[in-house]
Chains A and B, each alone.
Chain A
Amino acid sequence: MTDTSMAPPETGIRTFDYGSDEAQARVKRRYKTEARFKLYGLLAVLFAGAFVFVLLADIVRKGMPAFFEHRVVLTLDLDASLIDPTGRREIDVLRNADYNKIVMDAWRANFPEVTQRAERRRLEALVSSGAADDLRAAVIRDPALIGQKVRFPVLLSDDADLHFKGLSTRISAVAGAGALDVKVNGREVELNGSGQPFAAILADVKAGLMQDAERVGAELARLPASQQGGNNAALDARRIELTQKVAELRRRAGDAGSAETIDFSAMPSRIIRAEGAAIRLQEIGPGSAKGFLLVAPQREIARLESWTVATFATPESNRKASDADISWLETLNARGAIEKAFATRFFSSGDSREPELAGIRGALIGSALTLLVTLIVCLPLGVGAAVYLEEFAPKNRFTDILEVNINNLAAVPSIVFGLLGLAMFLNFFGLPRSAPLVGGLVLALLVLPTIIIASRAALKAVPPSIKEAALGVGASHQQAIFHHVLPLAMPGIMTGTIIGMAHALGETAPLLMIGMVAFIVDIPQAITDPGTVLPVQIYLWSDLPEVAFQAKTAGAILVLLGFLFVMNGAAILLRRRFERRW
């Protein structure tokens, strides 16, 4: 057959017309399938891209509030007799002084009308319990402040902070119509005006009642129909109750002129604002209304020429910040005492039960210590194992089994490694619970297969000619590998290691098993201190009921994502920078 002198057989080769219609159609079909495949690919990429975008946008939107906090700037009287009665500026005395009293005195001074015990509690709850600690730190840092009156930003509580982040209720304010006569009796207020000044508000209230009637009606319609011959007393009672409720709401809504009493558990609150005062309406008629003075006016008032009515859309019992809370905060905001600032606290403090005080520093340090342990254990062990298996180990059944098992280890669920860590490191070796040391060891087990596989691939990618060259000038096998092959494989090994570390940084499940899921306020100082890591912190926060922790959760996710991006970016950069083609 290879003999070229032989003539081609007469009938052996068929002629084929590539210009025929059939052939043309085939070409067209080929182009079409190719275009279709490209389109599928593009659609898949766009689809995935859209998901990533939505995810990121959502996390950023939810997480951004965590990076800001609201504070009220108060003038604090740092009375020397309170802080340092001896005048010797001893650190213990300074540390143990009652800073909370200083802060609270200044805070309560804003609203002298608040005297009742329960109301005072509410007012005090708007300031964070951490505010006194801030003041203590400031005084210890600069004892010269003692005896002065200083303007000091006092951290607000999470509920107050959420209000300013727009997460309490929707507030709409409209100007009131007509002048009002005001009769103040203690905190009770009576408002009267000619020409029905409250007609619009009353109509609004009635419209709300009508909506309620419709909602209850819809609920009634959803109730299952009474069964033939069935005897479901509870269901029937409910049906009767709802029917009566609808009728009652319809009657109240239809009777345009009648006065309404606001039910704060189900209806939006309405607050009259004028002259620095805030009056919550309790009973509204077309021409007169009764209310409660939440915030006292700056001067005695008998008649209001201009006023606004603010509607808090969410009924009071459905939100954390009460009408009084919001009125106090808004009053201070109107006075310009509220400031918004970057929350350095988020990065500088450990975990806390108070959302406004909680930060990720403990988790960050914990993650750093854990990863350090992981790296120290993993890198030499992984690279050593890879070099041995790739270059020195005899190729036999045993090493084959070893290889298969290493590859399989990479696919073992991570929680299994956690169980192993619990059984080995905690129970058998008796290492401390919740410690980054144990976390690092467990994560090292998890990452080891990744590093071994990546390192072996990198070693395999070094052309054998380099090793032969070294052997050819009289280098031993080990010298050839350690002088030439390993350095050339290092960028690949580093890339694999960084990706493995990024994997370890994001790992949660195995750490739950070894107790790193505990609530730990102190920032770990050593690898044997109890600590937690960033993803576990996220897991913990996501479980908490306080709304403010939602933002903290998203904020911590952003930080974690940031680190992951940086690590993966470093891996890509390393690969680009040192990638070698032979």
Chain B
Amino acid sequence: MSFASPMIQEPASVPEPAVAAKVAARNVNVHYAEKHALKDVSVDIPARAVTSFIGPSGCGKSTFLRCINRMNDTIPICRVTGEITIDGKDIYDSRLDVVLLRARVGMVFQKPNPFPKSIYENVAYGPRLHGMARNKTELDEIVVNSLKRASLFEEVKDRLQESGTGLSGGQQQRLCIARAIAVSPEVILMDEPCSALDPIATAKIEELIDELRSNFTIVIVTHSMQQAARVSQRTAFFHLGSLVEEGSTEQIFTNPKDKRTQDYITGRFG
């Protein structure tokens, strides 16, 4: 496995990673009104692998994550420049339908946010919206499969009609994951999915992420370096709005090329 060059600031020198890039970002800049939140980020995210974004608070990792499914569009003052492609297609192309993009790029949020509806309805909402099931049987199948994939089915199979908000925090987060995978996305973005959970629930989610890797391209933002080390194959370190270093998780954690990465992972700041 070869590593991306540490000299990210020079985008021309970014080499092709070994595995096929599912998502590729080139010179992405984000401004919140006057604030330059993300500076010239270029990165390749490989398919069917977990890529984690680490960095201190306010470094722009979540902002970048939200660029990948254009969630930043909902913030009026936010301006994105540069190019992000999924399978080679520019997602900021004006002809591209942002709603369909978000169906292809699912998202799991920091705080579990199930709809205040039944567990079944939570998962069925997306497939129903996109007309993925022709009848009730098909819909049931999608819901059950999604819940199974999210390792939640066994726990909730007897109470699918009960409210999703009645579940525990970890179960709610897995429900949100089930909801995301129910619409068959290609990429799943996770924005600190375990920050509101206890260690046991966190362990379950991490296990789940590892399982989902075989089918989905997963990007995870995390504050926990241990989590990044445990679940991801590739890691990108952000600092003050710039991508400092990106490489295999093993390399970043054992042999970082940049002094700032080294300082961060050894706990000297952040």
Contact = CB atoms under 8 A, between A and B. Distances in A.
B71 A474 contact: no
Contacts of A465: 109, 111, 113
B114 A469 contact: yes
* Residue among B106, B109, B111, B129 with most chain A CB within 10 A: B129
B200 interface: no
Interface in A458-492: 463, 465-477, 479, 483-484, 488
A395 interface: yes
A580 interface: yes
Contacts of A394: 76
Contact of A474 (B102, B109, B113, B116): B102
A479 B129 contact: yes
B1 interface: no
A473 B106 CA distance: 6
B107 interface: yes
Contacts of A477: 74
Contacts of B100: 474
Q: Give the one of A467, A470, A474 with max B CB within 10 A.
A: A474
A475 B129 contact: yes
A477 B116 CA distance: 18
Given A395-B76, A484-B115, A470 B125 contact: yes
Contacts of B183: 473-474
B176 A474 contact: no
A473 B179 contact: yes
Contact of A471 (B71, B114, B115): B71
A468 B126 CA distance: 13
Given A465-B111, A472-B106, A473-B183, A488 B126 contact: no
Contacts of A466: 113, 115-116
A483 B176 CA distance: 17
B67 interface: no
B103 interface: yes
A449 B130 CA distance: 37
B116 A488 contact: yes
A467 B109 CA distance: 12
B182 interface: yes
Contacts of A471: 71, 74, 102
Given A466-B113, A488-B116, A472 B129 contact: no
B139 interface: no
Nearest to A483: B125
Given A395-B76, A479-B129, A472 B116 contact: no
Nearest to A465: B113
Contacts of A479: 129
Nearest to A463: B113
A577 to B, nearest CB: 14
Contacts of B25: none
Contact of A470 (B76, B104, B115): B115
B197 to A, nearest CB: 15
B33 interface: no
A469 B102 contact: no
A435 to B, nearest CB: 43
Interface in A492-530: none
Interface of A: 394-395, 463, 465-477, 479, 483-484, 488, 580
23 contacts: A465-B111, A465-B113, A466-B113, A467-B74, A468-B71, A468-B74, A468-B107, A469-B109, A469-B113, A469-B114, A473-B102, A473-B106, A473-B179, A474-B99, A474-B104, A474-B126, A475-B99, A475-B125, A475-B126, A476-B99, A484-B115, A488-B116, A580-B116
